[in-house]
């Protein structure tokens, strides 16, 4: 979810960069649209080998690019924080699920006078 929302933020950041004339329009639109497309596609491949490393590299790229647009650095830091939180929460949930699978379950039956 973080990457999907981040793709919209990158698209709107592209609009801002275009409006502020950060560089020539072709470069702004090419990079912005490619970057937002990669961000929206990446959640579909998460879980494959090295996919989380790739997504983390996208976060670093977002931080680097955000220096060109005013106030984008603050938004980038917020989304990198969301990404870090999502990674920590995901590992915690995975560990909790593994621990739950290891717990032996047993069935207890209680007999009452009425069930006899």
pTM, 2 dp: 0.76
Domain boundaries, the chain: 2-101
Can you say whether the dihedral through the CA atoms of 63, 67, 77, 14 is positive or negative?
Answer: negative
Residue 112 has pLDDT above 90, yes or no: no
* Longest Cα separation, the chain: 85
Tokens 């793709």 sit on residue: 7
CA triple 31-37-39, angle to 5 deg: 100
**How does residue 102 score in pLDDT terms, banded at 50, 70 and 90?**
confident
Identify the pLDDT of residue 78: 94
Identify the pLDDT of residue 71: 85
- Express each pLDDT in 26-55 by its tens digit: 999 999 999 999 999 999 998 899 999 999
The 3-class SS string of 89-110 reads: HHHHHHHHHHHHHHCCCCCCCC
Give the whole-angstrom CA distance, residue 66 versus residue 92.
30
Give the whole-angstrom CA distance, residue 29 versus residue 16.
11
């Amino acid at each position: 979810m973080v990457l999907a929302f981040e793709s919209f933020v990158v698209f709107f950041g592209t609009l801002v960069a275009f409006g502020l004339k950060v560089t020539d329009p072709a470069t702004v639109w090419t990079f912005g649209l490619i970057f937002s497309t990669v961000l929206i596609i990446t959640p579909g491949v998460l879980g494959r080998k090295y996919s989380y490393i790739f997504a983390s590299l996208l976060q670093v790229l977002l931080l680097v690019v955000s220096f060109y647009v005013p106030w984008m650095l603050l938004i980038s830091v917020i989304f990198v924080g969301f990404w870090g939180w999502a990674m920590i929460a995901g590992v915690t949930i995975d560990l909790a699920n593994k621990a739950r699978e290891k717990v032996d379950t047993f069935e207890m039956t209680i007999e009452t006078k009425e069930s006899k």
